[in-house]
């Protein structure tokens, strides 16, 4: 997969999610959500769920977990996704002769 495919998939999932999301809670999650609601007193539980997604995302970015999964599935990183170009494109690495090319001039001075 590629950076373009990653971008397409993210845009498609974004459209699929819409504005609201219904989530089934298991017993442990419901208990933890109840405790957080009592302790943090948000306006509604939706706010805590939004914060939880932000926190999980930030943790995945900071620990490299997101890049690991993106590299495994799309051969791209989050930074490459944000910039819209691969590392090789950013550094110009794809502009130099490749080892498989026969470039007799590269050792000429």
pTM attached to this predicted model: 0.73
pLDDT of residue 106: 55
Using CA atoms in the order 29, 41, 57, 8, what is the torsion angle rounded to 10 degrees?
Answer: 90
Q: What is the CA radius of gyration of the chain?
A: 22
Token code pair at residue 108: 């000429």
The answer to whether 70 and 81 are in contact (CB under 8 A) is: yes
Token code pair at residue 82: 């944000």
The answer to whether 82 and 13 are in contact (CB under 8 A) is: no
pLDDT single digits (tens) 65-99: 999 999 999 999 999 999 988 877 777 765 655 55
């Amino acid at each position: 997969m590629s950076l373009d495919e990653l971008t397409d998939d993210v845009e498609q999932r974004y459209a699929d999610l819409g504005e609201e999301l219904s989530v089934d809670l298991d017993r442990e999650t419901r208990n933890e959500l109840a405790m957080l609601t009592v302790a943090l007193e948000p306006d509604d539980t939706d706010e805590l769920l939004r914060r939880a997604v932000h926190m999980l995302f930030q943790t995945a970015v900071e620990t490299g977990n997101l890049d690991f999964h993106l590299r495994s599935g799309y051969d791209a990183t989050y930074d490459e996704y944000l910039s819209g170009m691969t590392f090789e494109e950013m550094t110009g690495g794809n502009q130099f002769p490749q080892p498989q090319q026969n470039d007799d001039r590269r050792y000429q001075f």
